[in-house]
Amino acid sequence: MSTTVENIQRQISENPILIYMKGTPQLPQCGFSAQTVQALMACGERFAFVNVLDNPDIRAELPKVANWPTFPQLWVEGELVGGCDIVVEMYQNGELEKLVKEAAARAEASDKPEA
């Protein structure tokens, strides 16, 4: 039986682009999650998400693991990018799309078997 912290670490390591949010990308449950997921979706790459409202254990533990108190939280390649303000600012200045596209390309390359 894995602990919540192990679960979080596994999710972060297995998903190159991961957002912990309130609600789902199709139905965000808070304005900050909505803004963050819109910016992420505008980058055009697939990403994983965890609805912290459905996972109270993750909602309680992740702020301690991440040392970041609020949601949403965007993680790219195992690194915490930040929350709503940071993600939206990065989107506006073009950094988010570059970061997300590079992570997606690396993930795709690592999924392909070597010839």
User: Options 3.40.190.100, 3.30.200.20, 3.40.190.10, 3.40.30.10; which CATH number does 4-109 get?
Assistant: 3.40.30.10
Distance set, CA 90 to CA 27, 32, 59 (Å):
23, 15, 24
pLDDT in tens, 26-62: 999 999 999 999 999 999 999 999 999 999 999 999 9
- Please report which residue ranges of the chain form alpha helices under DSSP H: 4-14, 31-42, 56-66, 84-92, 95-111
Annotated binding site: 22, 30, 59, 71, 84-85
The answer, yes or no, to whether residue 16 has pLDDT greater than 90, is: yes
CB 45 within 8 A of CB 98: no
Annotated binding site for [2Fe-2S] cluster: 30
* Residue 81, C-beta contacts closer than 8 angstroms, at least 6 positions apart: 74, 75, 87, 90, 96, 99
**What is the domain partition of the chain in residue ranges?**
4-109
Residue 76 structure tokens: 């790219």
The answer, yes or no, to whether residue 11 has pLDDT greater than 70, is: yes
Annotated binding site for glutathione: 22, 59, 71, 84-85
CA distance 38 to 12: 20
pLDDT in tens, 61-115: 999 999 999 999 999 999 999 999 999 999 999 999 999 999 999 998 887 665 5
Question: What pTM, to 2 d.p., does this model score?
Answer: 0.93
